[in-house]
Homo-oligomer: A and B are copies of this chain.
């Protein structure tokens, strides 16, 4: 099969060995994958794959199951699925645990479905399992126009919570407000002062891919028993923490990644998505936000788009 290899820093489509599914795995013939910021970090050498996982980029895909391991029912062969991967999506075929590959929503194409696993699994894990999101809560989403942001805005609306966003441009802000955010602000000087005026009692949950210099401000606007979930470190890895705020407001600071989690947890998250979120997609209440669909031959351009923060929502990559 062919797969993207990193050769002297460049992404090259090369022939490599077809993987063989282990006993709890399926082999998927990939229709499409999608780009994540983590791919850029891995390519730059800053986010190595978990031990024992492929070093091929790509944390999600859609496609058709063509082979199964000995513990997986052969009935799955031929199934159209989308899958959460620990790596390997930039390829013609990939193996993953059977529980991480779920049916695609009936109203989406196989190509469109490649946009779903990573953002919806990340949002489900962090908003619901880590964040205990509940009705009427106020949720702040940094990078609101990202894949994760646009999925989170819609999940908040569907589950009765109020979402607020920070974004990188006026265009992105308009998009997020149309998608369902209550209020938003373009990041930069004075942004946190404005955010602070929206919810007097402080936020119940902040989903933050920035870290670094956002941390202190996040802590200031986090309310009583509020949860700050750090899912990325675009802004750096150190900050000052105010333990007085932490204790008196009984705040929780949570570091979260999904890639290195046990497959059982990933399987549970995917099962939740299939039963609780796909029905909302099928009712058109939640729509995946796809910025652009490109071909694997354009992968370098696709990476540049994300590196320059030009996308609103997901960049999908057709493989076949």
Contacts and interface: CB of A to CB of B under 8 A. Distances in A.
Interface stretch (A9-17, A88-96, A114-122, A245-253): A245-253
A44 interface: no
Interface string A235-246: 011111111111
A211 interface: yes
Contacts of A215: 241, 243
* Copies of this chain present: 2
Contacts of A257: 247-248, 250
A305 to B, nearest CB: 25
Contacts of A241: 215, 238-241, 253
Task: Give the dominant DSSP class at A's interface.
Answer: mixed
Interface in A232-281: 232-233, 236-257, 260-261
A69 interface: no
Contact of A240 (B230, B239, B256): B239
Interface centre among A211, A249, A255 (most CB of B within 10 A): A255
B252 A231 contact: no
A49 interface: no
A44 to B, nearest CB: 15
Contacts of A252: 252-255
A168 interface: no
A180 interface: no
Given A237-B243, A245-B255, A249-B255, 17 more contacts: A211-B243, A232-B247, A233-B247, A236-B243, A238-B241, A238-B244, A239-B240, A241-B241, A247-B256, A250-B255, A250-B260, A250-B261, A251-B254, A252-B252, A252-B254, A253-B253, A253-B254
Interface centre among A245, A247, A251, A261 (most CB of B within 10 A): A247
A233 B243 contact: yes
A256 to B, nearest CB: 6
B255 A251 contact: yes
Contacts of A249: 255
A245 B233 CA distance: 11
Contacts of A250: 254-257, 260-261
Interface string A136-160: 0000000000000000000000000
